[in-house]
Amino acid sequence: MRLLRRSWAGLLHQRHRLLTTTSSRRSNGEREKEKEQQQRQKWTHTGSRTERMLYAAFWAGGLTLGYHWLSHRSHLTQVLLEEQKEEQKEEQQEAVARLWHATLRPELPTYKADQVEQHNCPENRIWVTYGLGVYDVTDFADNHPGGDKILMAAGSAIDPFWAIYQQHNTLEVLELLEGFRIGNLEGPLVASVDDELGSPWAQEPPRHALLKPASKRPFNAEPPIGLLAEQFYTPNELFYVRNHLPVPVISPEDYELEIEGGGKEQTLSLERIKALPKHSWSGARLCDLLRQQGVQPDEAKHVIFEGADLDPTSHPYGASIPLAKALDPRGDVILAYEMNDEPLSRDHGYPIRVIVPGTVGARNVKWLTRIVVADRESDSHWQQNDYKGFSPSTDWDTVDFGKSEAIQAMPVTSAICTPQAGSRVKVEQDEAKGEGEGHITVRGYAWSGGGRKIVRVDLTNDEGLSWHVAELEQEDSPDGRHYGWSLWTARLPVSQAQRRAGDVEIWAKAVDSAYNVQPEKFEHIWNLRGVLANAYHKVKVKIV
Amino acid sequence: MRLLRRSWAGLLHQRHRLLTTTSSRRSNGEREKEKEQQQRQKWTHTGSRTERMLYAAFWAGGLTLGYHWLSHRSHLTQVLLEEQKEEQKEEQQEAVARLWHATLRPELPTYKADQVEQHNCPENRIWVTYGLGVYDVTDFADNHPGGDKILMAAGSAIDPFWAIYQQHNTLEVLELLEGFRIGNLEGPLVASVDDELGSPWAQEPPRHALLKPASKRPFNAEPPIGLLAEQFYTPNELFYVRNHLPVPVISPEDYELEIEGGGKEQTLSLERIKALPKHSWSGARLCDLLRQQGVQPDEAKHVIFEGADLDPTSHPYGASIPLAKALDPRGDVILAYEMNDEPLSRDHGYPIRVIVPGTVGARNVKWLTRIVVADRESDSHWQQNDYKGFSPSTDWDTVDFGKSEAIQAMPVTSAICTPQAGSRVKVEQDEAKGEGEGHITVRGYAWSGGGRKIVRVDLTNDEGLSWHVAELEQEDSPDGRHYGWSLWTARLPVSQAQRRAGDVEIWAKAVDSAYNVQPEKFEHIWNLRGVLANAYHKVKVKIV
Asked if B455 has any chain A CB less than 8 Å from its own CB, the reply is yes
Q: Are residues B360 and B450 in the same domain?
A: no
Residue A523 has pLDDT above 80, yes or no: yes
The domain boundary, picked from B185, B220, B241, lies at B185
Instruction: Please report which confidence band the pLDDT of residue A197 belongs to, taking 50, 70 and 90 as the band edges.
Output: low
List the CATH number of the domain containing A449: 2.60.40.650
Q: Are residues A36 and A135 in the same domain?
A: yes
Instruction: Give residue A43's pLDDT.
Output: 31
Contact B514 A450 (CB under 8 A): yes
pLDDT given at position A30: 43
pLDDT of residue B496 exceeding 50: yes
Q: Which amino acid is at B342?
A: E
What pLDDT was estimated at residue B100? 78
Q: What is the C-alpha end-to-end distance of chain B, expressed in Å?
A: 29
Mean pLDDT of chain A: 81
Average pLDDT (A143-158) is: 80
pLDDT at residue A486, as a whole number: 97
Q: Which residues of A touch B464 (CB under 8 A)?
A: 392, 523-524
Answer yes or no: is pLDDT of A219 > 80: yes
A29 and A157 belong to one structural domain? yes
A435: pLDDT confidence band, cut at 50, 70 and 90?
low
Residue B209 belongs to a domain: no
What are the distances in angstroms from CA A250 to CA A205, A275, A308, A345, B142?
Answer: 12, 20, 8, 11, 70
Q: Is residue B408 part of a domain?
A: no
For an interface test with B, which of A458, A517, A534 has the most B Cβ atoms less than 10 Å from its Cβ? A517
- Model confidence at A414, pLDDT cuts 50, 70, 90, reads very high
Verify that A437 and A399 share a domain, yes or no. Answer: no
On average, the pLDDT of chain B sits at 81
B525 located within any domain: yes
8 A C-beta contact, residue A490 and residue A441? yes
Q: Considering chain B, what percentage of its residues have pLDDT values greater than 90? A: 53
Percentage of residues in chain B having pLDDT higher than 70: 79
Q: How would DSSP label each residue in B428-486? A: EE-TTS-TT-EEEEEEEEEE-STTPPEEEEEEESSTTSS-EEPEEE---PPTT---S-E
Is pLDDT of B53 > 60? no
**A391 and A292 belong to one structural domain:** yes
Same domain, B166 and B294: no
My answer on whether A487 and A458 are in the same domain is yes
d(CA A244, CA A316): 10
What pLDDT shows up at residue A521? 95
Confidence of residue A422 (pLDDT cuts 50, 70, 90): very high
* pLDDT tens digits along B450-490: 999 999 999 999 999 999 999 999 999 999 999 999 999 99
Distance CA B99, CA A94 (A): 72
How far apart are the CA of B10 and the nearest CA of chain A, in angstroms? 15
Nearest to A407 among B515, B524, B532 (CB): B515
Residue A464 near chain B (CB below 8 Å)? yes
User: Does the residue B304 lie in any domain?
Assistant: yes
Helix, strand, coil content of chain B in percent (nearest 5): 25, 25, 45
Q: Alpha carbon of A445 to those of A66, A305, A418, B260: distances in Å?
A: 11, 30, 10, 40
Answer yes or no: is A469 within a domain: yes
CB pairs under 8 A between A and B: 123
Residue A457 above 60 pLDDT? Answer: yes
Q: Has residue B356 got a pLDDT over 60?
A: yes
Q: Please report the residues numbered 284 through 303 in chain A whose beta carbons come closer than 8 angstroms to any beta carbon of chain B.
A: 301
- In whole angstroms, what is the distance from residue A488 CA to residue A443 CA? 6
CB contact under 8 A, B467 and A393: yes
The answer on A152 and A122 residing in a single domain is yes
Q: Which positions in chain B touch A509 (Cβ < 8 Å)? A: 524
Q: In this complex, is the C-beta atom of A359 within 8 Å of any C-beta atom belonging to chain B?
A: no
A11 and A42 inside one domain: yes
Beta strands A368-374 and A302-310, pairing class: antiparallel
Rounded to an integer, the average pLDDT of A413-428 is 94
Q: With respect to residue B500, please indicate whether it lies within any of the assigned structural domains.
A: yes
For chain B positions 469-528, those within 8 Å of chain A (CB to CB) are: 469, 478-480, 509, 511, 513-521, 523-525
Q: Cβ contact (<8 Å) for A456 and B391?
A: yes
User: Would the pTM count as exceeding 0.90?
Assistant: no
Window B:406-435, CB contacts with A under 8 Å: 407-412
Mean pLDDT of B503-530: 96
Q: Which of A328, A464, A514 sits opposite B523 (nearest CB)?
A: A464
Q: What percent of chain A has pLDDT over 90?
A: 54
A470 confidence band (pLDDT: 50, 70, 90): very high
**Top-confidence residue, B63 or B341:** B341
CATH number for the domain including A65?
Answer: 3.10.120.10
Q: Is A331 on the interface with B (CB under 8 A)?
A: no
Q: Is residue B206 part of a domain?
A: no
Mean pLDDT confidence for A157-168: 73
Quick one: B361 and B428 in the same domain? no
On whether both A475 and A502 belong to a single domain, the answer is: yes
Minimum mean pLDDT among A86-90, A471-475, A514-518, B129-133: which range? Answer: A86-90
Q: DSSP 3-state assignment of B414?
A: strand
How confident is the model over B353-369, as a mean pLDDT? 96
Mean pLDDT of A72-76: 42
pLDDT band of residue A304 (cuts 50, 70, 90) is very high
Contacts of A518 in chain B (CB under 8 A): 519
Residue A90 counted as domain residue? yes
Last residue of a domain, one of A373, A403, A433: A403
- So what's the pLDDT on residue A26? 33
Per the CB < 8 Å rule, is A520 touching B515?
Answer: no
Structural domain containing residue A10 = 2-185
More confident residue, B186 or B324: B324
Q: Output the CA–CA distances (angstroms, integers) from residue B47 to B37, B51, B160, B194, in the order listed.
A: 16, 8, 9, 8
Closest C-alpha among A417, A422, A418, A424 to residue A89: A422
Interface test with B, best of A390, A516, A521, A532 (most B CBs within 10 A): A516
Residue B185 has pLDDT above 80, yes or no: yes
| CB-CB under 8 Å, B464 with A514 | no
Check A324 against B330: CB less than 8 A apart.
yes
**Of residues B247 and A69, which shows the higher confidence score?**
B247
Which tens digit of pLDDT belongs to each residue from B187-236? 643 434 344 456 788 889 988 888 888 888 889 998 888 878 888 887 78
Q: CA quadruple A325, A331, A337, A339: dihedral positive or negative?
A: negative
Per-residue pLDDT for A260 more than 50?
A: yes
Q: B467 and A520: CB-CB below 8 Å?
A: no
CATH, residue B271: 3.90.420.10
Q: How many domains does chain B have?
A: 3
- All residues of chain A having their beta carbon less than 8 Å from the beta carbon of residue B520 are 519-521, 524
Same domain membership, residue B495 and residue B355: no
- Check: complex ipTM more than 0.90: no
C-alpha count within 13 angstroms, C-beta hemisphere, residue A325:
24
Binning chain A into helix, strand and coil, the percentages to the nearest 5 are 25, 25, 45
CB-CB under 8 Å, A391 with B458:
yes
Whole-Å CA distances, B144 to B3, B11, B44, B264: 19, 9, 22, 41
Q: Domain ends where: A154, A185, A216?
A: A185
